[in-house]
A and B are shown apart, each in its own frame.
Chain A
Amino acid sequence: MCGIVGLHLRDPELYPRLGSLLESMLCQMAGRGPDSAGVAVYGDHRRCPEGYAAVSALTEGSVEIPGALVTEAGDTTVIAAPMGVDDLVAAVRATGARVVGFGTDLTVYKGTGHPRELAATYDLANAQGWQGLAHTRMATESAVTPEGCHPFSVGPDQCLVHNGSFANHATIRRELRAEGVEFDSENDSEVGARFVAQRLAQGEDLAKALRALCERFDGFYTLLVTTGEGFAVVCDAIACKPAIIAETPRWVAMASEFRALADLPGIESADIYEPEPERVYAWQR
């Protein structure tokens, strides 16, 4: 069991409230995943200023990069600097740190512990932006470590969170490795994220990449995948894991359970529905 929440804001007036809304949603899902919790925030210019790249990293010691804004948030260190993404990723990797998220609009936080405490560690309540997601983890396939915490962010401004377990991840991991793809963890969800990232890098759009994932992956999954353009939801063929979507003119939200959506502004007039199995639901900015 794991918990997923995601919020894609359509109304810019809500951007300052992204973090507080997401924190409330995350805490409702704490019982579904008390091992660890991760968060991704899109469009917070205090965490990733315009013209900067941001890299989230798991590191033993401190990371020192000239001219960079470095923020420590529990297990995660966020490094933002006015340089290209690839250059910043290389500079952070050169310090021996493990990169767990990168982009020009995205900051990722991962850690182990109770979701409510981690939300405070990440200062989630004060986050701003146009899109965010969070995940609470109850580990089944691999160890409870910051690396195994979701989201898996393995492409620029991309994140994937997963509730469920892939059955054939080892096979697909071998295939991707043979094609030169590198992995950071033994986590089955990372294989899904690497698969999607490879498809997006080849020019497919998010919906097409997720349809390919449905073709290739066996097992149980409800996935929420975000990019710098939008977000998408898909469930496996028998919808083994829960998902509920709510839409209003001001926002699109997705969660494992309705109670995570119950306090969103305007929920009483939202269009609320469950995604159908193997149908990709995608929204763009």
Chain B
Amino acid sequence: MATVTPVSSKVDLSTSSVRALNAELHEPAAEAYEVLHPQGAHAIAAGVHHPVTVDIRGHAGYYCAGMNDGGTITVHGSAGTGVAENMMSGTVRVHGDASQSAGATGHGGLLVVSGSASMRCGISMKGIDIVVGGDIGPMSAFMAQAGRLVVCGDAGDALGDSIYEARIYVRGKVNSLGADCVEKPMRAEHLSELAGLLGAAGLDHDPADFRRYGSARKLYHFAAHNSDSY
């Protein structure tokens, strides 16, 4: 007799452990999961590597949806440090705010934060796309290597310090740019890719309202006239 795959399953973290939840998500029997009473627990839905849908009804703690590879994970609340850290693919949405290091080191996929993200958003991002509806804190996109960071509000100090090849779009004001991060012209291809990112995030801002920032490429190439310093 064929087993029937349940379409949806509920896990209540007031009676079940995060470990049990994650074990289920790593070998999912259902296509969609609803997580109740998260209460700020850490590592909720970390390591998902199947195309499941996970809806977390409340605030999540550290490393929520970390290492996501193909899941569609939504936090119906705010998320703690390192949401979607090292994401490979898939989509993570946070309806509230995100704490520090949102999307850190992410290789791919889309992270959408409807509220604001704290310091070090997109630190060392390696291909992830991050769209933040509000503001981002200081030192965001530090050593960002690839991917796109879209900020619909303002950016804090030292944006894009020591950036490599990621592209940053900011609609509001930038408190200060980090070392080797400069403003760059918005060409047609940038307006086009920004429109795509805003659309994917469900936001209807005009891409023309944004400015683009990226690497001046002066920091990571060796310059012969610096030889004396070594």
Contact = CB atoms under 8 A, between A and B. Distances in A.
A274 B61 CA distance: 14
A257 B100 contact: no
A239 B61 contact: no
A272 B80 CA distance: 12
Contact of B40 (A257, A274, A276): A257
Interface in A22-67: none
B127 to A, nearest CB: 26
Nearest to B96: A272
Given A239-B100, A272-B78, A258 B59 contact: yes
A258 B138 contact: no
B100 A242 contact: yes
B175 to A, nearest CB: 11
Contact of B39 (A242, A263, A274, A277): A263
B100 A259 contact: no
B170 interface: no
B40 A277 contact: no
Contacts of B61: 257-259
A261 interface: yes
Contacts of A259: 39-42, 61
Interface size class of B (residues with CB under 8 A): 10 to 19
A239 B119 contact: yes
A83 interface: no
B59 A277 contact: no
Q: From DSSP, what is the main secondary structure of chain B's interface residues?
A: loop
B73 interface: no
A263 B39 CA distance: 8
A257 B62 CA distance: 9
A82 B41 CA distance: 46
A262 B99 contact: no
Contacts of A242: 81, 99-100
A262 B138 contact: no
B119 A258 contact: no
Nearest to A268: B58
B104 to A, nearest CB: 15
Interface in B35-92: 39-42, 59, 61-62, 78, 80-81
Nearest to A274: B118
A257 B80 contact: yes
B32 interface: no
B59 A262 contact: yes
B191 to A, nearest CB: 32
B39 to A, nearest CB: 4
Interface of A: 238-239, 242, 244, 257-263, 272-274, 276-277
14 contacts: A238-B139, A239-B118, A244-B99, A257-B80, A259-B40, A259-B41, A261-B40, A263-B39, A272-B59, A272-B78, A274-B99, A274-B118, A277-B119, A277-B138
Given A258-B80, A260-B40, A273-B97, 18 more contacts: A238-B119, A238-B139, A239-B100, A242-B100, A244-B99, A257-B40, A257-B61, A257-B80, A258-B40, A258-B59, A259-B39, A259-B41, A259-B61, A272-B59, A272-B97, A274-B99, A274-B100, A277-B138
